[in-house]
Amino acid sequence: MFVLLTIRAGVFMPCSHRTLAPAPMAPTVYRELGQKIRARRERLGLTQDKLAAQVGLSRTSVTNVERGRQQMLVHQLIDFARALRMEAAELLKDVVPANASMTQMQQDVPPEVQKLVVELRRAAPRRNRT
């Protein structure tokens, strides 16, 4: 089973596979996530073709992800993180607000998705702020 998460008003929302078509104005979170993916890919010296092969998508899909025009499934986020040699939670850091309303999320999101989000946040490496 695959779960697609969209973020509306800073809250993770599950969507059916029928909502994969990108909205005319992609939410900021997808643009920011795409920018992080592109910056990391370029830092590692990977082409879009090489990254696409590693994550099992077409180069066009990678382009759309990097531009924030394509939503991704949770397993794809994890695949991108692995290909970019980082944790999925690190990709989401600063893209998903740390203070996103857990109360709202708990009301609107199934428990298995809540658990995944919490695990991803906990898995994010802690950095010293000195």
36: its two tokens? 């992080």
- Does any domain span residue 74? yes
Structural domain total, the chain: 1
Hey, which residues does 5 pair with through a beta bridge?
Answer: 14
Residue 82 lies in domain: 4-123
Q: Is residue 128 part of a domain?
A: no
In a domain, 129, yes or no: no
Q: Is 62 part of any domain?
A: yes
Residue 48 in any domain: the answer is yes
69 within domain boundaries: yes
pLDDT digit string, tens, across residues 102-121: 554 455 556 766 677 777 77
Q: Is residue 75 in a domain?
A: yes
Per-residue pLDDT tens over the stretch 22-58: 443 346 788 889 999 999 999 999 999 999 999 999 9
Please state, rounded to an integer, the average pLDDT across all residues of the chain. 75
Q: What are the φ and ψ backbone dihedral angles of 29, each rounded to 5 degrees?
A: -60, -40
Q: Is the pLDDT of residue 67 over 90?
A: yes
56 within domain boundaries: yes
What pLDDT does 20 receive? Answer: 43
Sign of the C-alpha dihedral, residues 61, 62, 68, 70?
Answer: positive
Q: Cβ distance 70 to 22 under 8 Å?
A: yes
What's the mean pLDDT in 4-14?
49
Q: What is the pLDDT of residue 40?
A: 96
Any idea what the CATH number is for the domain that residue 85 is in? 1.10.260.40
pTM for the model? 0.59
